[in-house]
């Protein structure tokens, strides 16, 4: 396996304007925001920025912090778009804006492979606000969207309605991902594609505890059991952990060893508009079936 870099290019409603000094300046539609960015070790292109809002991190490494605003920003969010999709961006307490723009290359890659299939069905684990789910549904796939957060699933359904996809063939489930996959394996279910974007730590709807280092390998093993040699893909993305891309690449390679096909791994990045440099954001590994 040779590592690759997936680059999210700017689009109409999103762009990384500048980054450096441990921060990044981004545009989300008509608004500009500054957020902490540990990967931006270099100097920024411009000496000063004039954002609408900035997230000021807490004193510890485990999170926390608050937003400060210099201009009015809709607290209930505002509408953005990617291709035909429409969704709500919002300054959340978790420092992000309600979706992950560096996922755009993954959305496009999955759509392309699902369009090659006849009546495909895909599974989105830890589906959050549903942009990936809607991207795949827009390619003609039936979807199962799973997230342990009722609030996230409600936001995903609202994004579906905003995109004019309220009647799309999507099952919206507030579920623990691990328990759901284990049940699907026992049922003998099969999917054309699976994407999972697990957090470092989380809790299920009935108090289940998720820790990435302990839970990822068995969850991937169950995901592989829900695929076969004729399936299209398995996509794994990982943020904010001390795990290297080579490690998740090997994990996916072993999980899918009996399915044939190919595995690639590497980094995800966003291209900065000011200078064209690449800001790394996450690591990924993905399997592509032989028929995809």
pLDDT of amino acid 212: 82
C-alpha dihedral, 217 to 223 to 224 to 225, nearest 10°: 120
Domain ranges of the chain: 4-75, 82-87+96-288
Residue 150: is its pLDDT beyond 80?
yes
Q: Quick one: pLDDT at residue 111?
A: 97
d(CA 101, CA 277): 16
Q: Where are the alpha helices (DSSP H) in 100-244?
A: 104-114, 131-137, 150-162, 177-186, 212-225
Q: Report the distance separating Cα 240 and Cα 250, nearest Å.
A: 19
Of the two residues 2 and 278, the one the predictor is more confident about is 278
pLDDT for position 60: 63
Please answer whether residues 20 and 42 qualify as being in contact, where contact means their C-beta atoms are separated by less than 8 angstroms.
yes
Q: Encode pLDDT of 209-231 as tens digits.
A: 878 888 899 999 999 999 999 99
> Does position 292 have pLDDT exceeding 60, yes or no?
no
pLDDT at 20 over 90: yes
Q: What percent of the chain has pLDDT over 90?
A: 87
| pTM assigned to the model | 0.94
Question: In this predicted model, what pLDDT tens digit does every residue of 241-286 receive, in sequence order?
Answer: 778 999 999 999 999 999 999 999 999 999 999 999 999 999 999 9
Residue 128: partners with Cβ closer than 8 Å, 6 or more residues away: 99, 147, 149, 152, 155, 156, 197
Q: Provide the pLDDT for residue 208.
A: 79
pLDDT given for residue 83 in this prediction? 97
| φ, ψ at 142 (rounded to 5°) | -85, 145
Return the exposure string of 129-145: e unless at least 16 CB atoms fall within 10 Å of the residue's CB, then b: bbbbbbbbbbbebbbbb
Instruction: Tell me what the pLDDT averaged over the chain comes to.
Output: 94
Running DSSP on this structure, what letter comes out for residue 63? -
Query: Region 178-186: what's the mean pLDDT?
Result: 97
**Given pLDDT bands bounded at 50, 70 and 90, which one contains residue 291?**
low
The full length of the chain comes to 292
User: What is the rounded distance in angstroms from the CA atom of residue 98 to the CA atom of residue 141?
Assistant: 23
Q: What is the arithmetic mean of pLDDT over 136-143?
A: 97
Query: What is the mean pLDDT of the segment spanning 146-168?
Result: 97
Select from 2.40.50.100, 2.60.40.1180, 1.10.8.420, 2.60.40.10 the CATH code of 4-75: 2.60.40.1180
Count other C-beta atoms under 10 Å from residue 19's C-beta: 27
With bands split at pLDDT 50, 70 and 90, how would you rate the model's confidence at 61? low
Mean predicted confidence (pLDDT) in 49-77: 89
Please identify, in words, the CATH class of the domain defined by 82-87+96-288.
alpha beta
* Whole-number pLDDT of residue 205: 78
59 vs 284, more confident: 284
For the stretch 103-136, pLDDT in tens is 999 999 999 999 999 999 999 999 999 999 999 9
């Amino acid at each position: 396996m040779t590592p690759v870099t997936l680059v999210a290019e700017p689009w109409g409603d999103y762009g990384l304007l500048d980054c450096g000094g441990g921060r990044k300046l981004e545009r989300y539609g008509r608004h500009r925001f500054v957020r902490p960015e540990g990967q931006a070790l270099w100097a920024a292109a411009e000496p000063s920025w004039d954002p609408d809002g900035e997230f000021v991190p807490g004193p510890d490494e485990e999170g926390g912090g608050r937003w400060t605003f210099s201009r009015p920003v809709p607290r209930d969010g505002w509408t953005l778009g990617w291709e035909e999709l429409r969704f709500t961006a919002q300054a959340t307490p978790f420092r992000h804006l309600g979706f992950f723009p560096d996922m755009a290359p993954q959305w496009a890659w999955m759509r392309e492979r699902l369009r090659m299939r006849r009546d495909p069905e895909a599974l989105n684990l830890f589906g959050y606000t549903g942009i990936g789910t809607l991207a795949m549904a827009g390619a003609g796939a039936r979807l199962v969207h799973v997230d342990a957060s009722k609030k996230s699933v409600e936001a995903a359904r609202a994004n579906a309605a905003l995109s004019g996809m309220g009647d799309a063939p999507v099952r919206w489930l507030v579920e623990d991902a691990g328990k759901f996959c284990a049940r699907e394996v026992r049922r003998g279910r099969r999917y054309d594609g699976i994407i999972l974007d697990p957090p470092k730590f989380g809790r299920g709807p009935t108090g289940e505890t998720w820790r990435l280092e302990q839970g990822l390998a068995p969850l991937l093993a169950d995901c592989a059991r829900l695929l076969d040699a004729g399936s299209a893909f398995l996509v794994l993305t990982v943020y904010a952990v001390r795990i290297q891309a080579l490690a998740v690449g090997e994990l996916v390679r072993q999980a899918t060893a009996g399915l044939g096909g190919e595995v690639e791994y590497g980094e995800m990045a966003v291209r900065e508009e000011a200078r064209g440099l690449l800001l790394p954001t996450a690591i990924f590994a993905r399997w592509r079936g032989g028929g995809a």
